């Protein structure tokens, strides 16, 4: 029998302090200071600040105050809009983070995926997302989808001693495992680390906007230098010559363009959210807006994931309660399948101790449980059971 003891809360805290939270690169909270520096580094905003400095040097308090107010307004809009977008992306990331059933201080409880620590004992069942790299100690017909790591869509069976990898979906079965890797120490973390250096390419609209701004920027720089040279040639001072040049440069470059682009993308995402479409990255709004016909291959149906046992048809001479009790013994003790949940809700938990679990196998498939007293309950396709 494998060791199915878990960590204590104190041991888990020490493990988390040593290994860090179970997060892959890019999941952490973005820096507000870094965001502010990105906003302040906009070339058009730097040009405005330069003009503001010239007004201050010339003693034009009224013009400096008015331009300073405009600069602060542009900074505030860009900062708030970009910050709101990044906050939404982080919220989606936390929403997508898997929760794990861990054994702490001898009690099974649900924990956030980021709080899973190395050495934790976790339970995996059909429909779960594996929260970390796990070495399986016990597995019953456990199969996972590793397509996010390998690109292969075939279900991968897991036996005791095999590893289930972080982020993969459990397709069938259940089992227990010990966490052996978290965060960047997982295979998913290694994949994320290798992708960190890849910069996302700009969308066609972003590329066109950058070309436009770059062309206007060169034109503005040339106009600024021409105005300064003309003023110097006419005998004006450096500041007096520089101010018209910078003013002309700022007039040529649309400093509102980054703000307008962000606001329009945010408005598009908001309109899509009213139609129950979540936009994870704002540039995706541009691609969605260019679509005239969208074909979707939808498998399955959207349901409540519940089943209802409408009728029980026992064989002649067999009581309904006897049939329900046999069906309950053939179900998993802690089922994920909605049909098994409904059977246990009608019949109650089986009496006795589960001695052996025969997982789903064979063609056609069947499965069974051996209970104390030598009671074997089997279910599956009729020809498989027979």
Identify whether the C-beta of residue 21 lies closer than 8 Å to the C-beta of residue 183.
yes
For the chain, the first-to-last Cα distance in angstroms comes to 31
Identify whether the C-beta of residue 190 lies closer than 8 Å to the C-beta of residue 165.
no
Handedness of CA 180, 185, 190, 191 (dihedral sign): positive
Q: Which residues contact 5 (CB under 8 A, 6 or more apart)?
A: 103, 121
Q: Where are the alpha helices (DSSP H) in 331-364?
A: 338-347
Identify whether the C-beta of residue 366 lies closer than 8 Å to the C-beta of residue 379.
yes
- Adjacent-strand bridge partners of 142: 158
Helix axes 43-58, 61-96, angle to 10 degrees: 150
Closest by Cα among 95, 106, 127 to 27 = 95
What's the DSSP call for residue 118? T
Whether 297 is catalytic: yes
Tokens of 128: 């779960």
The one catalytic residue in 105, 120, 145, 297 is 297
Q: From residue 99, how far is each of 116, 131, 188, 386 by CA, in Å?
A: 9, 7, 16, 40
Closest by Cα among 99, 107, 88 to 127 = 99
- Annotated catalytic residues are 297
């Amino acid at each position: 029998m494998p060791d199915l003891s878990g960590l204590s809360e104190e041991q888990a805290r020490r493990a988390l302090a040593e290994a860090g939270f179970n997060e892959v690169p890019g999941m952490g909270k973005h820096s507000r200071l870094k965001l502010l520096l990105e906003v302040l580094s906009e070339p058009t905003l730097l040009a405005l600040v330069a003009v503001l400095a010239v007004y201050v040097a010339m003693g034009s308090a009224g013009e400096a105050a008015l331009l300073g107010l405009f600069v602060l307004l542009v900074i505030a809009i860009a900062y708030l809009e970009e910050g709101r977008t990044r906050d939404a992306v982080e919220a989606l990331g936390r929403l997508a983070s898997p929760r794990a059933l861990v054994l702490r201080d001898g009690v099974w409880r649900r924990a956030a995926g980021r709080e899973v620590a190395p050495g934790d004992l976790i339970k995996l069942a059909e429909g779960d997302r594996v929260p970390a790299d796990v070495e399986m100690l016990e597995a019953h017909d456990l199969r996972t989808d590793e397509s996010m790591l390998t690109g292969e869509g075939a279900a991968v069976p897991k036996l005791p001693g095999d590893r289930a990898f972080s982020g993969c979906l459990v397709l069938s079965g259940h089992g227990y495992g010990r966490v052996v890797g978290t965060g960047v120490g997982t295979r998913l973390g290694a994949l994320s680390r290798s992708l960190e250096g890849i910069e996302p390419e700009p969308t066609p609209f972003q590329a066109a906007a950058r070309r436009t701004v770059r062309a206007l920027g060169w034109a503005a720089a040339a106009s600024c230098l021409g105005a300064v040279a003309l003023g110097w040639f006419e005998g004006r001072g450096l500041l007096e010559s520089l101010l018209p040049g910078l003013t002309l440069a700022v007039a040529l470059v649309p400093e509102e363009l980054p703000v307008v682009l962000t606001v329009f993308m945010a408005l598009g995402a908001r309109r899509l959210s009213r139609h129950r479409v979540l936009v994870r990255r704002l540039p995706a709004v541009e691609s969605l807006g260019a679509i005239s016909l969208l074909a979707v291959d939808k498998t399955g149906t959207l349901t409540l994931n519940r089943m209802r046992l409408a009728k029980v048809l026992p064989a002649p001479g067999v009581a309904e309660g006897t049939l329900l009790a046999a069906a309950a013994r053939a179900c998993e003790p802690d089922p994920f399948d909605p049909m098994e949940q409904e059977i246990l809700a009608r019949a109650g938990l089986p009496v006795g101790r589960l001695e052996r679990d025969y997982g789903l196998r064979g063609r056609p498939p069947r499965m069974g449980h051996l209970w104390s007293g030598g009671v074997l309950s089997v279910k599956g396709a009729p020809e498989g059971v027979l």
